[in-house]
Amino acid sequence: MSSPSTHLMELPRKILIGDNVICQLGSFIMDLDGKASKIAIITGNNVKAKVEKVFRSSVFESLQYSWYIVDDASMDSVNKIHTKFRDYIPDFVIGLGGGRSVDVAKMTAFKLNKPFISVPTSASHDGISSPFVSIRGTDKPHSVKVNTPIGVLADTQLLSEAPLRLLASGCGDLVAKLTAVKDWELARDEKNEYFGTYAANLAYMSAKIILEGSDKLLHKKKEFGIRTIVEALISAGVAACIAGSSRPCSGAEHLFSHALEYTVGQNCGLHGERVGLGTIMMAKLHGLDWERIVKTLKNVGAPTKAKQIKINEDQVVRSLLTAQSLRPDRYTILSKLKLDRRSALELAKSVCIV
């Protein structure tokens, strides 16, 4: 593959982060478009119950809004919501909640060709600021590119109320940048693929900050942990915007995670948990210090063994063997090494099977 001479960088225009910034959502929207009159909020039932009152007091009277509740992160949910927009075309679509609400809202905004605002209530993955969505029912077994959020509003108070497991999952999605960047370097060196040094460094830095600070994250959850993790996730998403692809954020460890979902179904942990496990194995294949990654994930309370996300040896091996076939065009360490059953089993046993 030859290097492209041009690519488009679409970045978020406004990012607001801090305690209780949800109260400023109304002015945040009007700052983005002073003529906005209708918005659609896509969220989950629990989040709606929690923030409805504060949201109502934050928006101006001139702004009409409607709530849409998401069941799951699938194209069915997107299509169901989309059909409700025949008579109500919003100026903005807001994704308010966890990964599911943010992904469904991002895809809905893309289908409507309307700007999207991301308001995450959990710091569990880097999709909060990137143009990529992981949604079931598209024609791709991996994340797909839509539009970059025009705004990101991250309320650290709300984020700190999310279960610690979600935050640990966010750390899994961050350490993944170590192997994603390594895979990208490999594709540059062996396939002459375009490589953006700046985007790669930015993604790498968001992993490094977790590697270096993981022992403090548990003890200072709110002050240090939330802010650090959410800023790192936003920054990783921006790295993907700059690269014009998910390359700096997603390599073989993400393919492994997608393959697990494919083989096991829904019940195999959170995105960042699967990806964290994949990172340990891909780091070993790359000759990186995988034991440091294990220590980092343990420090933040993320799983480091397959059984912790209820998957067995055979499922890990099958996912290792099928991962690359889900995206043959993305050259990774798995394309290079072409594991067979014996080497996949050896790898799994040596790092993530007790």
Residues that bind Zn ion (CB under 5 A): 173
Nearest CB to Zn ion, comparing residues 39 and 268: 268
Nearest CB to Zn ion, comparing residues 173 and 193: 173
Kindly state the smallest distance separating residue 283's Cβ from Zn ion, in Å: 16
Nearest CB to Zn ion, comparing residues 173 and 183: 173
- Token pair of 338, please? 């072409």
Position with the least CB separation from Zn ion: 173
Kindly state the smallest distance separating residue 309's Cβ from Zn ion, in Å: 15
Kindly state the smallest distance separating residue 311's Cβ from Zn ion, in Å: 18
Kindly state the smallest distance separating residue 126's Cβ from Zn ion, in Å: 6
Nearest CB to Zn ion, comparing residues 38 and 165: 165
Question: Among 44, 33, 35, which residue's Cα sits nearest to residue 67?
Answer: 44
Nearest CB to Zn ion, comparing residues 173 and 273: 173
Kindly state the smallest distance separating residue 273's Cβ from Zn ion, in Å: 11
Kindly state the smallest distance separating residue 53's Cβ from Zn ion, in Å: 32
Kindly state the smallest distance separating residue 170's Cβ from Zn ion, in Å: 9
Nearest CB to Zn ion, comparing residues 116 and 256: 256
Nearest CB to Zn ion, comparing residues 54 and 209: 209
